[in-house]
A and B are shown apart, each in its own frame.
Chain A
């Protein structure tokens, strides 16, 4: 801990030194983010560890603005103050050679960060050894194999992340946070004489201790085992039960559309839809770092602006885009605290929560007459951004539901449809929540049952 305390002091002091340096050398405004990170990732495939990697780094991102709104940015990975100051001089040089950006108004003023009762940094995560990680992976592999005799390969990754971050700017912002999290993704393959199937499970938590490795392995193993002997069904319009992992992918596309950058680029399906009902009335989505449902509370954004609860969808009504200071200034608004850590002008939600309902997964299945259970989506992409049309393949557990019962496993299918249309056809909200790491934030979502998704193709 002593080393981390020293690192904390170093990044806070360095942030101040850098700001002072660029202001003394002609910058009108400036901000800097400095991050120290320790990341470890143990990958396993074919039921053994095959990649096992680690990194430590100190990274800084600095922006300088001149009075006439010319600006320059530098990113440097270094813990050498001379190198960082040299990079800062380079940012000034770029700014002086640049052209004014009339849309830039100002960096944010300091604001009070609301405290949180939640613990963000777990000391025990520092003390984890490669052998501890290998032991956890072993538990996952063993549990997955115990889930079914046809389990042939257990694949996935266990990742642990520690971050110490400071953000400072020339207007007085000076904030620090330290947080940790661990994630575990497991994809199990089962095989019999005739077929092969996959099952997936995922967990993320601020503390690795809270992830039950056996449970994750077993969940993926069980789903893979029950997916064998898949049948091919015709594409068409089906009712769908999306498990939380799949719902989170739909939420990711929705999150992209809530960014003020997507709006500015005219590629958001939510343009001109503020305060209009765009999704089913049971759907409420918030970005809330203090929600108990989000794995790690991120208290401020890349510009040091405090994060507060922001309602994105209230009972289906679209309420807010997310802003950083650049897009907020451009539209004469206030930043919502969603600046990117490593990019200029690229806001994105970081603690997205799709509020759950009260129904069990069984209720969602029982409500389905002729439908498909989708465990996970693979390689989703936007087809028509203004209409929210996306395409994706189902993966790792796709099952036919008939008359309220899971009937049989089916081959993976492709849908191409508008997520607005899909989410407007919501029938039941599940109460089971799962979180995923997305970009540098988290998306938490429940299972949902929707009445209509257009499938356009099948594999196999």
Chain B
């Protein structure tokens, strides 16, 4: 494979490209969805292809094809060069890339049981049992669902700077959810988390490690209990978030605004920009002093985290970077190009593409709130009056990532240090630095959540990312009922 790619790189250089990289990607994915006892989805997807990214006359061109042979590679390289030449006609300043050392390496994620080797029947048997268990919990459960997805990616990267990297990645995840209805009210409960479950870079052994049937029992029972719960009250109060909801809070209010491409305006037309402008670096009080948010996708440290990897899709080794240190905004997620623009010496390796036919963009990897020293039950015990919320149900945030609103599946009224009453339809909203500025307790129940569906870019790319988070407490937050 590398020989074919290197020849195409040479062709690009002959055509006047000053930089060229080629990625060949072979993908396989398997999706299974069970709904109310029926197999709603049983799909295998396979594809392979390559993408060519070139710099010529200081501007980028990219082209791709699903046909991997020498003739097509040459054609696609030619087109990519032409596209770069066209880009240069409306380019104000030439693209500069931060230096990167030449890498020749092969790495893989640590799966034990390849999910694609597990017989389909075995998977189905487990999922159908879980699905049935959900509906067994009450007559009010109208919809039971089990979602599973596994993906296997084999990719090769070659650049005109001499890097040659091969990677094999396997990840999978599963989730169960119940929808209970009564008198026009609908309540959803999902575990391990919502929107398809939790994902990790492991094999089928991860699915086996979850007690799916036990989770199924819980979602069925809790969705039913929520039907008779009171609605979340309105007003400013103390809010405690579980780690799964906090993972999404980190994602939306810290992960996205610290992407350097958003900061520099290149995502303005679609996803938006960022309030974390360069003048605020090292100065802005993003949160309270106990808030430390770090980008650290190192596979040596977190081999199973969905967002971990060794090199990004520019061939840059990942580098641990604090985005918020002791409450102060301190860093960005970078590409080679944005590192130069923002005055950094090197990229920290945040560029990834979701497939061969897409260009790499700055994407979140593993961005975590470092754990504190509270036990999660101590946070509850220490709270006189407040609301505890768990598992995301809806989300929305403005284009600069300041004004957010999240809905959760379940909440508890906290009184005198105890969970007193179950509440439904809880929603909270706030402004990012005010919210994090009011964080006064972080638990040590640190857990890394894998999110397989972060959308960004045009054409849109869906990326797999992860966030480590613990139970945490925030003072003076506006909460209300989403009904």
- Report how far A386 CA is from B59 CA in the complex, Å: 49
A307 within 8 A of B: no
Given A46-B265, A98-B124, A131-B86, A380:B396 Cβ within 8 A: yes
Of A55, A385, A393, which is within 8 A of B64 by CB? Answer: A55
Chain A residues with CB under 8 A of B179: 265-267
**Cβ contact within 8 Å between A412 and B398:** yes
- Report how far A378 CA is from B49 CA in the complex, Å: 34
B92 within 8 A of A: yes
**Cβ contact within 8 Å between B44 and A91:** yes
Tell me, rounded to whole Å, the shortest Cβ–Cβ distance linking A83 to chain B.
Answer: 8
Of A57, A83, A157, A381, which is within 8 A of B458 by CB? Answer: A157
Chain B residues with CB under 8 A of A74: 43-46
Given A379-B396, A457-B405, A133:B268 Cβ within 8 A: no
Given A49-B90, A54-B79, A141-B90, A98:B42 Cβ within 8 A: yes
Chain B residues with CB under 8 A of A87: 44, 46
**Cβ contact within 8 Å between B458 and A159:** yes
Tell me, rounded to whole Å, the shortest Cβ–Cβ distance linking B138 to chain A.
Answer: 15
Total contacts A-B at CB 8 Å: 253
Count residues of A near B (Cβ-Cβ below 8 Å).
91
Say whether chain A's binding surface is mostly helix, strand, loop, or mixed.
Answer: strand
**Cβ contact within 8 Å between A134 and B86:** yes
Convert B63-75 into 0s and 1s, putting 1 for each residue whose CB lies closer than 8 angstroms to a CB of A.
Answer: 1111100000000
Chain B residues with CB under 8 A of A45: 265-269
**Cβ contact within 8 Å between B67 and A79:** yes
B343 within 8 A of A: no
B301 within 8 A of A: no
B101 within 8 A of A: no
B407 within 8 A of A: yes
**Cβ contact within 8 Å between A97 and B121:** yes
Convert B358-379 into 0s and 1s, putting 1 for each residue whose CB lies closer than 8 angstroms to a CB of A.
Answer: 1100000000000000000000
Chain A residues with CB under 8 A of B482: 383-384, 389, 416
**Cβ contact within 8 Å between A57 and B66:** yes
- Report how far A72 CA is from B32 CA in the complex, Å: 10
- Report how far A378 CA is from B397 CA in the complex, Å: 8
A172 within 8 A of B: no
A186 within 8 A of B: yes
B2 within 8 A of A: no
A226 within 8 A of B: no
Tell me, rounded to whole Å, the shortest Cβ–Cβ distance linking A77 to chain B.
Answer: 4
Convert B125-143 into 0s and 1s, putting 1 for each residue whose CB lies closer than 8 angstroms to a CB of A.
Answer: 0001000000000000011
Chain A, Cβ-Cβ closest to B128: A99
B453 within 8 A of A: no
Of B65, B86, B120, B121, which is within 8 A of A55 by CB? Answer: B65
A47 within 8 A of B: yes
Tell me, rounded to whole Å, the shortest Cβ–Cβ distance linking A419 to chain B.
Answer: 14
- Report how far A79 CA is from B72 CA in the complex, Å: 13
B381 within 8 A of A: no
**Cβ contact within 8 Å between B405 and A416:** yes
Stretch at the interface among B206-214, B240-248, B425-433: B425-433
**Cβ contact within 8 Å between B398 and A414:** yes
* B window 445-462: CB within 8 A of A: 458-459
**Cβ contact within 8 Å between B82 and A94:** no
Chain B residues with CB under 8 A of A412: 398-399, 403
- Report how far A137 CA is from B61 CA in the complex, Å: 15
- Report how far A385 CA is from B431 CA in the complex, Å: 25
Chain A residues with CB under 8 A of B267: 45
**Cβ contact within 8 Å between A130 and B265:** no
A276 within 8 A of B: no
B254 within 8 A of A: no
**Cβ contact within 8 Å between A77 and B403:** no
Stretch at the interface among A36-44, A113-121, A281-289, A422-430: A36-44
**Cβ contact within 8 Å between A52 and B79:** no
Given A54-B79, A57-B357, A130:B42 Cβ within 8 A: no
Given A159-B458, A382-B394, A385-B186, A130:B120 Cβ within 8 A: no
Given A39-B459, A51-B60, A54-B79, A77:B42 Cβ within 8 A: no
B38 within 8 A of A: yes
Given A71-B42, A99-B128, A344-B40, A459:B431 Cβ within 8 A: yes
Chain B, Cβ-Cβ closest to A77: B47
Given A130-B86, A137-B90, A266-B181, A102:B269 Cβ within 8 A: no
**Cβ contact within 8 Å between B270 and A55:** no
- Report how far A157 CA is from B267 CA in the complex, Å: 10
Tell me, rounded to whole Å, the shortest Cβ–Cβ distance linking A443 to chain B.
Answer: 17
**Cβ contact within 8 Å between A102 and B398:** no
Given A93-B120, A155-B265, A459-B431, A134:B186 Cβ within 8 A: no
**Cβ contact within 8 Å between B61 and A52:** yes
Chain B, Cβ-Cβ closest to A157: B458
Chain B, Cβ-Cβ closest to A326: B40
Tell me, rounded to whole Å, the shortest Cβ–Cβ distance linking B346 to chain A.
Answer: 21
Given A41-B458, A71-B42, A93-B120, A52:B86 Cβ within 8 A: yes
Given A383-B482, A391-B396, A393-B403, A97:B119 Cβ within 8 A: yes
A436 within 8 A of B: no
Interface residues of A (CB under 8 A from B): 39, 41-59, 70-79, 83, 87, 90-91, 93-95, 97-99, 101-103, 129-131, 133-135, 137-138, 141, 153, 155-157, 159, 185-187, 189, 198, 265-267, 343-345, 378-387, 389, 391-393, 395, 412, 414, 416, 456-460
Provide a sorted-by-A list of 10 A–B residue pairs whose CB atoms are within 8 angstroms.
Answer: A50-B266, A53-B459, A74-B43, A94-B120, A103-B38, A155-B268, A384-B483, A391-B405, A393-B396, A456-B405
Interface residues of B (CB under 8 A from A): 35, 38-49, 59-67, 79-80, 82-87, 89-93, 119-121, 124, 128, 142-143, 179, 181, 184-186, 264-270, 272, 357-359, 393-400, 402-403, 405, 407, 425, 427, 429, 431, 458-459, 480, 482-483
* A49-B87, A54-B79, A134-B87 known, 13 other contacts, Cβ within 8 Å: A45-B266, A50-B87, A50-B266, A74-B43, A93-B120, A134-B90, A141-B90, A155-B268, A155-B269, A189-B268, A386-B186, A392-B396, A412-B403
Nearest 6 A/B pairs, CB to CB:
A130-B86, A77-B47, A155-B269, A97-B120, A187-B269, A73-B43
